[in-house]
Amino acid sequence: MVDVIRIDAVLETGATVGFTAWPVAEPAGDGILALSGRMSPAEVGTAMAVIFGYGDIPTTPTGELHQLLDRHLADAETLLAPGGLRVRDTATGARILPGCCCGLENWREWRDVPHEKGIWLGHDPHTEVEHVAGAVRLRQGAGPPSLPSSQHEVEIRLDDLPDLLTTVQRRLQGFLGLVRPWASEISPRAADRLVAVLDESFEINGSLAFG
């Protein structure tokens, strides 16, 4: 049977409008960018613009990005990014988006779903999490008025969740693999440091350790 549930790590890209420090991609209509190893250099640039912008980290001069990043980390200790995990049912077209104030840095909290622990999915729109007979049902509040309510409800079988999250991790690793060549073009001295900080801040590598 073909899997119909897809989970992607995504960033909200609205804040990149007018960004000029390096090339960025045209924003998608929904303002969401999925992270993977198939992104174009401009899409990687968009992701980095979001991350730098959300942390109020200066992006110029680009040749000093490694120093600008470390100055930020001296105070904040980590990077944050608006986004999280987007869940889609490809059969029905239903989707659940990260709510306001949800962050990509919390994506591993989804490992707690089978244990019925609370996870932060943001607000506006708020997402209800309901456990039902070997599955978890996600029901999101107000969305675009043009979409029927059925397009804001997705059910995930708990047995499928480890494989789905492992796929999320592989796509994040693919994105991380694109950062070094991107940074080598924009700010060569920042490349290794940027990869290391992204990996640590968003916990991209390392075992998911499903319990």
Over the chain, what HEC string results? CCCCEEEEEEEECHHHCCCCCCCCCCCCCCCEEECCCCCCHHHHHHHHHHHHHHCCCCCCCHHHHHHHHHHHHHHHCCCCCEEEEEEEECCCCCEECCCECCEHHHHHHHHHHHHCCCCCCCECCCEEEEEECCEEEEEECCCCCCCCHHHHEEEEEHHHHHHHHHHHHHHHHHHHHHHHHHHHHHCHHHHHHHHHHHHHHHCCCCCCCCC
Q: How confident is the model at residue 143 (pLDDT cuts 50, 70, 90)?
A: low
At residue 27, the pLDDT reads 85
**Looking at residues 161-176, what average pLDDT do you find?**
97
Of 174, 206, 204, whose CA–CA distance to 43 is shortest? 174
Least confident of 10-24, 37-51, 84-98, 142-156: 142-156
Which residues on neighbouring strands pair with residue 7, listed in sequence order? 87
Spatial distance between the Cα atoms of 153 and 151, rounded to a whole number of angstroms? 6
Single pTM value for the model: 0.93
At residue 211, the pLDDT reads 66
Spatial distance between the Cα atoms of 144 and 9, rounded to a whole number of angstroms? 21
